[in-house]
Amino acid sequence: MAATNKKIVLRNHVTGFPKESDMELVAATGAAPSRVPEGTDGAVLVKNLYLSCDPYMRGRMSSHDGSYVDAFVVGEAITGYGVGKVVDSSHPGFKAGDLVWGMTGWEEYSLIKDPSRALFAIRHPDLPLSYYTGLLGMAGFTAYVGFHEICAPREGERVYVSAASGAVGQLVGQFAKLMGCYVVGSAGSDDKVRLLREKFGFDDAFNYKKESDLSAALKRCFPEGIDIYFENVGGAMLDAVLLNMRVRGRVAACGMISQYNLEHPDPVHNLTAIVTKRLRIEGFIVSDHYARYREYEEKAARYVKEGKIAYVEDVAEGLENAPAALIGLFSGRNVGKQVVVVAREQISK
Amino acid sequence: MAATNKKIVLRNHVTGFPKESDMELVAATGAAPSRVPEGTDGAVLVKNLYLSCDPYMRGRMSSHDGSYVDAFVVGEAITGYGVGKVVDSSHPGFKAGDLVWGMTGWEEYSLIKDPSRALFAIRHPDLPLSYYTGLLGMAGFTAYVGFHEICAPREGERVYVSAASGAVGQLVGQFAKLMGCYVVGSAGSDDKVRLLREKFGFDDAFNYKKESDLSAALKRCFPEGIDIYFENVGGAMLDAVLLNMRVRGRVAACGMISQYNLEHPDPVHNLTAIVTKRLRIEGFIVSDHYARYREYEEKAARYVKEGKIAYVEDVAEGLENAPAALIGLFSGRNVGKQVVVVAREQISK
């Protein structure tokens, strides 16, 4: 029974809120792959261990051109970030046994044809490998680049993070605290708010679902206004933030998860604040910055080892639970970084 | 009858669309001032020659805190940019006869108490003095800083300018052409569109009032999308632009004149484009950049003398016509830079 190659495929492109039934588990027949096919040069066969559920994946489930990343192909395995172990390699830069993270498939085994572009070698296998789906991988580096590069923070500035207990938000808040900023986060449950305050060291936090007036909540937390907003949410939250920004404030637009499942995006009214307060709002994508990833990996690994960074994962067991885990992001069901375990690997080091 | 000190005062703070009756002409009794009052050190008395009507002044007519510039004081003369001649000075940096531009009052004579902050000496009095209300002054420098600094343009990029025949827009378009960009502008009448094409050398132009679908109009003019948007308008225009921006596009948010008279600003829906296309939208204010004004003045004066820049002014004669001229900005009545002549001065040089 064991080793075929199970995969999660997209059944159809999605409009509106995605459902589990938009994806399905498919078990390929025959034995599990164990070699890179004959004649396929420069490829690696990876056994997937952990998969990452990320909000940007919603865009790939749509058929339309989002000019961001390509749409998933109906009938093929969903692709995303993950952690794996090289089983076989015809690429000189990789060998069997290597631990890697990067773009892989939602399946037990993936053949990666351009591994030097798609994969990074894991340099800290002594840390939990799943961290490379988040803290030590794409989400962590997103938080780092977004905060330090796009927000251009200064010590003592007032920082607001939405979706603050998520994979990126929890790290942005902690990077901002490490820089000596005043940090407030919002999340969608009292438990998450408690995490922000007690685990991640935010100065203040609120449950946005319990606030009838988001602008008033922000005014309460930031009586003198917000210097930096790390935007994960969009829509009404962005509108409220614009009213509360300080002159020369900066907004790093990392994501707008509240908008991804809407056919008609929510209106935002307060954009004249961009002019009157000389705001800068800047979108970014982490892959534009990967040249500096190794610098981040070392810094983040050191932070973890020194106990300077706390990190919370929400772990779903088994590939078959990946669709539900992904969809849970959009209702905020996950607490912390959403990971899917495909296989646990004994690391001998 | 001649020389009292007529002035335009604000009668009341304004909500919604401003009217001429929100301002009134007041003639002070007694002789015109001719000296800085005894005991007022470091001040100059200026005879105002030309006044500038600028969209940002709408914000100052409201009572609320716009955190941009202070509100006008009811019952006092409106203040704004203008060109004048020093009549008397108790400031060591200015002497009678000096020509200056900067912040002055809407009146025949203004006592300027902080002239080294409020005023610039005019270094090219051989050019039309009124140009220092626009091309050679605040509007021109706004266009220059906004385009070259905020937009970070590269040769060959595709540039869109709204309100393109206005004081700032006409210059942005020409600066962009001088850099080798492809430039399209929009304006609110066929005559203005003709000006853009025939006088200012835009590659293409359209009358936004005749377009039922702004996004389609932009797609027609920019089949491959917009690299740079110089934003003077806001609202529905910004929404359409967001759909047509290219990846890594930049928006310099100079103004949003379509929104200034609305009690409830128009909705904008397409902000997820900031994330998906990694856009940068940045507001700015020219006064943050005045340290570099002299560099601009020399460059712009040279452009004018060499015939490299065309410039169109809409000139209202007489202080009494200033309120109508200002209000005309918001219905697009002006063609080119709106100037008010208070007094014409013979320049002997």
Pair B78, B150 in one domain: no
Tell me what pLDDT residue A182 has. Answer: 98
Pair B107, B225 in one domain: no
Q: B58 lies in a domain? A: yes
- Helix or strand or coil: residue A282? strand
Give the Cβ contact number of residue B101 at 10 Å.
26
Pair A158, A128 in one domain: no
Pair B143, B120 in one domain: no
Nearest to A272 among B256, B269, B279 (CB): B256
Subunit contact A277:B238, Cβ cutoff 8 A: no
| Chain A residue with Cα closest to B288 | A278
Pair A103, A77 in one domain: yes
Residue B70: band (very low, low, confident or very high) from pLDDT cuts 50, 70, 90: confident
The alpha-carbon gap from A118 to the nearest alpha carbon of chain B, in Å, equals: 20
Q: What ipTM was predicted for this assembly?
A: 0.92
Rounded CA gap, B240 and B270, in Å? 8
Tell me what pLDDT residue B346 has. Answer: 59
Do residues B243 and B225 lie in contact, with contact meaning Cβ atoms separated by under 8 Å? no
Rounded CA gap, B205 and B164, in Å? 9
Percent of residues, chain B, with pLDDT higher than 90: 90
The DSSP element (H or E) to which A229 belongs, if any, is: strand A226-231
Pair A224, A199 in one domain: yes
Chain A residues in contact with B271 by the CB 8 A cut-off are 234, 238, 256, 259, 265, 268
Q: B179 lies in a domain? A: yes
B292-328 residue pLDDT tens: 999 999 999 999 999 999 999 999 999 999 999 999 9
Length of chain B equals 349
B112-149 residue pLDDT tens: 999 999 999 999 999 999 999 999 999 999 999 999 99
Q: Domains in chain B: how many in total?
A: 2
Rounded CA gap, A345 and A222, in Å? 46
Chain A residues in contact with B269 by the CB 8 A cut-off are 264-268
- Tokens for A170, please give them: 């929890």
Sequence letter at residue A319: L
- CB contact, 8 Å: B62 with chain A? no
Which residue's entry shows tokens 């009838």? A212
- Residue B2 pLDDT > 90, yes or no? no
Subunit contact B282:A280, Cβ cutoff 8 A: yes
Chain B residues in contact with A278 by the CB 8 A cut-off are 282-285, 288
Residue A28: band (very low, low, confident or very high) from pLDDT cuts 50, 70, 90: confident
The alpha-carbon gap from B284 to the nearest alpha carbon of chain A, in Å, equals: 5
Angle at which helix A214-221 crosses helix A236-244, to 10 degrees, equals 40
Q: Can you tell me the mean pLDDT for B73-99?
A: 97
**By C-alpha distance, which of B247, B248, B299, B238 is closest to B271?**
B238
Pair A13, A121 in one domain: yes
Tell me what pLDDT residue B1 has. Answer: 42
Do residues A133 and A81 lie in contact, with contact meaning Cβ atoms separated by under 8 Å? yes
Rounded CA gap, A319 and A107, in Å? 7
Q: A303 lies in a domain? A: no
- Residue B66 pLDDT > 60, yes or no? no
Q: A70 lies in a domain? A: yes
* φ, ψ (nearest 5 deg) of residue A23: -125, 160
CA A277 to chain centre: 30
Subunit contact B276:A283, Cβ cutoff 8 A: yes
- CB contact, 8 Å: B66 with chain A? yes
- CB contact, 8 Å: B70 with chain A? no
Tell me what pLDDT residue A70 has. Answer: 87
Q: A237 lies in a domain? A: yes
Residue A68: band (very low, low, confident or very high) from pLDDT cuts 50, 70, 90: low
Q: A347 lies in a domain? A: no
Strands B44-52 and B79-89: antiparallel
Indicate which CATH number applies to the domain containing B186. 3.40.50.720
Length of chain A equals 349
Which residues are registered as beta bridge partners of A158? A182
Q: What range defines the domain where residue B40 resides?
A: 5-133+312-341
Pair A171, A41 in one domain: no
Nearest to A268 among B68, B254, B271 (CB): B271
Pair B117, B247 in one domain: no
Pair B119, B79 in one domain: yes
The DSSP element (H or E) to which B301 belongs, if any, is: helix B293-305
Nearest to A279 among B266, B270, B283 (CB): B283
Sequence-distant (6+) residues with CB within 8 A of A220 are none
Tell me what pLDDT residue B349 has. Answer: 44
* φ, ψ (nearest 5 deg) of residue B156: 85, -5
Residue B347: band (very low, low, confident or very high) from pLDDT cuts 50, 70, 90: low
**By C-alpha distance, which of B136, B163, B132, B160 is closest to B147?**
B160
Strands B280-283 and B245-253: parallel
Q: Can you tell me the mean pLDDT for B203-227?
A: 98
Tell me what pLDDT residue A1 has. Answer: 42
Rounded CA gap, B324 and B51, in Å? 13
- Residue A67 pLDDT > 60, yes or no? no
Rounded CA gap, B259 and B242, in Å? 17
Residue B271: band (very low, low, confident or very high) from pLDDT cuts 50, 70, 90: very high
Pair A205, A280 in one domain: yes
Pair B87, B25 in one domain: yes
Q: A296 lies in a domain? A: no
- Residue B29 pLDDT > 90, yes or no? no
Subunit contact A278:B285, Cβ cutoff 8 A: yes
Per the prediction, chain A carries an average pLDDT of 94
A40-55 residue pLDDT tens: 999 999 999 999 999 9
Tell me what pLDDT residue B25 has. Answer: 96
Integer Rg of chain A from CA: 20
Tell me what pLDDT residue B68 has. Answer: 63
Q: A236 lies in a domain? A: yes
Tell me what pLDDT residue A346 has. Answer: 59
Q: Which of residues 219-278 of A touch B (CB under 8 A)?
A: 234, 238, 247, 253-256, 259-260, 264-278
Chain A residues in contact with B275 by the CB 8 A cut-off are 68, 234, 253-256, 283
Nearest to B234 among A256, A272, A278 (CB): A272
A235-248 residue pLDDT tens: 999 999 999 999 99
Q: Can you tell me the mean pLDDT for A290-294?
A: 96
Q: Which of residues 311-340 of B touch A (CB under 8 A)?
A: none
| Chain A residue with Cα closest to B260 | A272
Indicate which CATH number applies to the domain containing A111. 3.90.180.10
- CB contact, 8 Å: B149 with chain A? no
- Residue A349 pLDDT > 60, yes or no? no
Q: Can you tell me the mean pLDDT for B248-265?
A: 93
